[in-house]
Amino acid sequence: MRREGGRGMVRVSRRCLRQAHGQPTSLHAAAHLDVSQARERHEGMTPEAFHAAALALPGATFDIKWGADRVYSVGGKMFAHAGPEGEPEPKYMFKASDLAFEMLTTLGLARPAPYLARAKWVQLVGPDALADDDLRAYLEEAHRIVAARLPKAAKAGIV
């Protein structure tokens, strides 16, 4: 890893990402990561399952914002977004850690979320980009990141 300029941006090499997630570091050992094959192994999380997973987290609330967008919050702060209601394919977005942001965007599983990329939000390339268990884990992490930055009074209200 190295720090870019004085801006606080950290560049993470693919080797570091592979080591952090238990993947082989030699390109000869893992000659190619075909993301399309990874997506074919599962059908993807349904909007109903995403809704249930997000609301199962402590203090999580659901709201429709900006007309039709399905938003999940903790302490009044957004941690996940499921895209507009009525769309044929959901657009799952969530707050990510610095490492998860780099990993998901580098591997092509997600892209920086529109209008929220500066805050390290990602938008999955499709509802089947991650397995259900992985998406649930990222939702839990997004909830944890946002809840950790809440004021003490708001944290006290979260069970």
Q: What is the pLDDT of residue 51?
A: 94
What whole-number distance in Å separates Cα of residue 110 and Cα of residue 55? 22
Q: Where are the domains of the chain?
A: 1-32, 34-156
Q: Residue 12 burial (CB < 10 Å; 0-12/13-18/19+)?
A: middle
55-97 tens-digit pLDDT: 999 999 999 998 888 999 999 999 999 988 878 888 999 999 9
Per-residue pLDDT band at 20 (split at 50, 70, 90): low
What whole-number distance in Å separates Cα of residue 142 and Cα of residue 64? 19
Residues 64/70, Cβ–Cβ less than 8 Å: yes
Residues 109/123, Cβ–Cβ less than 8 Å: no
Q: What three-state secondary structure class fits 91?
A: coil
Residues 65/71, Cβ–Cβ less than 8 Å: yes
Of the options 1.10.3720.10, 3.20.20.140, 3.90.1150.30, 3.40.50.300, the CATH number for the domain spanning 34-156: 3.90.1150.30
Q: How far is CA 56 from CA 74, 85, 124, 145, in A?
A: 11, 20, 21, 16
What whole-number distance in Å separates Cα of residue 130 and Cα of residue 114? 19
Global confidence as pTM: 0.72
